[in-house]
A and B are shown apart, each in its own frame.
Chain A
Amino acid sequence: MEKIKTKIEVPVMADLHARKKTPGYLFWVGSAGAFDDRYKHVTRAFIKILTLLGTDYAVLGTEESSSGDVARRAGNEMLFQMQALTNIEIMNGYGVKKIITCDPHAYNTFKNEYPDLGGHFEVLHHTEFLEKELTSGRLPVDKDVFRGKVITYHDPCYLGRANGVYDIPRNILRMLGVHVTEMPRNKSFALCCGAGGGQMFKEAEQGGKEVFIERTEEALETGAEMIVTACPYCMTMLTDGIKYKNRVEEVSDFDITEMVLRALIM
């Protein structure tokens, strides 16, 4: 007999609004979360967790647009402000109070930069959300799933240095029974993946090496078979780095959400 699969309908803000409902959270998918093939898996994984938890959330869907972070850091302040003001207008229009996102760049700009332009939201990175749910016991996990695996964690700059979130991702991994094998440069000393400030979208300047290779090599030197991170751009860089080093067979990179989903007892 074929198993009946449970289809997930992702709630969209405009539909809820039409029914005069305001969800507790806006889940900000982000451009990478919506369009990047690798990161779409992360978005889906997080949606599954939200669904399991019965979280009261919605996405903006086709009304979502770039947060403007990359435009701003590449020097286009005008485009950033236009994006920000438009996004704020839409979010305020729906009465959004709390935002969750998997993208540390969106997280940083919402949390620290949107207030200057009239956008005042409580912003959660998905790691902050997941840690709370795991601690409260609402996400029961099997601590043996990752037993014996060598796992390292790469700190995204905009989660770590920019916002001081170093321990939360590590706490989550510990709750999953993972012992993190740290890279020499970790936490506030972590080396950037090389994607920030618009770098991901352009050729690197002339130099001895690409930043993503330097960082991937450092991750591989820990002997890790799983490299965990919590940022779409870091994910792209690490995926490319693992390919470049011809280690696709033995080594994979994961977002922390995917780790949680794997360990979940459903």
Chain B
Amino acid sequence: MTVHQIVFILVLGLTFAIFGYTVNRLAAYFRITRPAFPVRDIGRRILVTLQVAIGQSKILRRPVIGLIHALVFWGFIIILFGSLEMIVDGVVGTEKAFHSLGKVYDVIMGSGDIFALIIAVSILIFLSRRLFFHVRRFAGREMTHKSHVDANIALSLILLLMITLLGMNTFYVAFAGQAGHHIYGVYPVSTAWFAPLLSGSLSDHSLYFWFRVNWWMHILTIFFFANYLPYSKHFHVFLSVPNVFLSRLRPIGKLPLMENILREVKMMLDPSAVADTPETEDQERFGIMDVEDVTWKNYLDSLTCTQCGRCTSVCPANITGKLLSPRKIMMDTRQRMKDKGPGMVKNGKEYSDEKSLLRDYISEEEIWACTMCNACVQECPLNINQPEIILGMRRYLVMEEAAAPGELNTIFSNIENNGAPWQFSQDDRLNWAKELYMED
């Protein structure tokens, strides 16, 4: 076993250890959340995943920038193959371990080389949009300095990944060519554009040395990136496909039924049914007051959110200057779990830090501004559902605190008393049909 191998295995072990720690912590947070829905209809889920995640159908609703993102995503999938090979090479001590795949190998490595350049250029476009152009959807109250720095770090890491990948390929091709070795795989961009720049300027030994430098930088960046992502808004690199696979399959206009309310309503409508009603478990809070009231899907949504702001940019409330921003709802939910989660993991769900998601993070003003139009849901490239949390908070305010805005309380009592949001008698419901003539 070489020193390289030993170092590699140690670093790989450390990477997995840190990643394992993170996953463990997140799993503990997920255990705090409420149930959402049973994951069934696997066939339909695969179709949604193929369409929305792999096919990037929703991000392509903005065709130009969407296509650039889609290229980055598809490129990542191809390049992942090379990364796996690097891990095998690192552990086993081989070089280009997968080359026995022959033509397939050539196609994958060749596409990876081309995609590395496409991704590098795309990332430069993304970075310049963030740094030099005023893109409205990257602004907003919730977009703190920290979020912008996070975005720029994530993008810079990807850029570094692509530069080192191209560096690796270039020095490999240059070395093998100069030393007369067989070149495994095809590297069109590196061979045609970059390797010629080196021709004859370096010894075989230096070329190989720089190949190894780029190799190590590339793999170390991957390891670092993998452990940076769970703490970054860029976590979607891991979570986008699972989150889309776990999409809500119900129609966009359908709200989830509250079973605990149904029990109460049935008892009210038919008191004799009390006997048949199973004893309720622990008294569950109605709606969402704090982060322990959200479902695992709401929390997964919040971790998946990339803060791209497509939701907020189509939100009628936000467009017209209201405080509500669907993106902020997701960011606040994630942040709240980060703040309160550790205490709840340690001391149980009853733990309190004298704060709550509603009011201390998300104001009542924000949640009452929503028109439930679902434009944000329609737009989210990763099938996140922002209104579900807004609705949960409304449910909490209405049914636990009776704290809806006054006008809404009025329509509630009108509906209760006379079956319409307005104060018209139910007996007048057919008045429109009086004196109705065909010719009028």
Contacts and interface: CB of A to CB of B under 8 A. Distances in A.
A31 B420 CA distance: 6
Contact of B251 (A43, A78, A112, A191): A112
A117 B421 CA distance: 22
A199 B439 contact: no
Given A76-B399, A162-B253, A31 B422 contact: yes
Interface residues of A, number: 76
Contacts of B405: 202-203
Given A79-B412, A112-B254, A161 B373 contact: yes
B399 A208 contact: no
B314 A189 contact: yes
Given A71-B412, A83-B415, A209 B320 contact: yes
B407 to A, nearest CB: 4
A85 B373 contact: no
A138 B314 CA distance: 40
B253 A108 contact: yes
B269 A82 contact: yes
A10 to B, nearest CB: 4
B255 A72 contact: yes
A122 interface: no
B373 A192 contact: yes
A197 B250 CA distance: 19
A70 interface: yes
A112 B12 CA distance: 50
Interface string A80-109: 011101100000000000000000000010
B64 interface: no
A206 B405 CA distance: 14
Nearest to A5: B437
Given A79-B416, A205-B369, A74 B253 contact: no
**Which of A31, A71, A214 has most B Cβ within 10 Å?**
A31
Given A112-B253, A207-B321, A211-B371, A47 B420 contact: no
Contact of B398 (A29, A76, A113): A76
A210 B317 CA distance: 8
Given A112-B250, A196-B371, A202-B405, A48 B420 contact: no
A49 to B, nearest CB: 11
B412 A59 contact: no
Contacts of A202: 368, 405, 407-408
Contact of B372 (A8, A73, A214): A73
A113 B378 CA distance: 19
B59 to A, nearest CB: 14
B186 interface: no
A158 interface: yes
Contacts of A71: 411-412, 415
B419 A85 contact: no
A16 to B, nearest CB: 14
A162 B251 contact: yes
A102 to B, nearest CB: 12
A162 B375 contact: no
A62 B412 contact: no
B394 A75 contact: yes
A209 B316 CA distance: 10
A86 B281 CA distance: 27
B324 interface: yes
A83 B268 CA distance: 12
Interface in B311-355: 314, 316-317, 319-324
Contacts of A29: 429, 432
A34 interface: yes
B394 A10 contact: no
B391 interface: yes
B185 interface: no
B404 to A, nearest CB: 7
B149 interface: no
A261 to B, nearest CB: 11
A217 to B, nearest CB: 11
Contacts of B321: 207-209
Given A81-B265, A82-B269, A196-B372, A12 B399 contact: no
B247 to A, nearest CB: 16
A192 B316 contact: yes
A85 B257 CA distance: 13
Interface string B356-378: 00000000010011111111011
Instruction: Give the 8 A-B residue pairs with the shortest CB-CB distance, closest first.
Output: A162-B253, A75-B394, A208-B321, A65-B419, A197-B372, A192-B373, A207-B321, A112-B254
16 contacts: A8-B437, A12-B430, A29-B429, A52-B438, A71-B411, A76-B395, A85-B269, A108-B253, A162-B252, A163-B253, A189-B61, A196-B371, A202-B407, A204-B369, A207-B317, A213-B320
Interface of A: 3, 5-8, 10, 12, 29, 31, 33-35, 40, 43-44, 47-48, 51-52, 59, 61-62, 64-66, 68, 70-79, 81-83, 85-86, 108, 112-113, 116-117, 157-158, 161-163, 188-192, 194-199, 201-211, 213-215
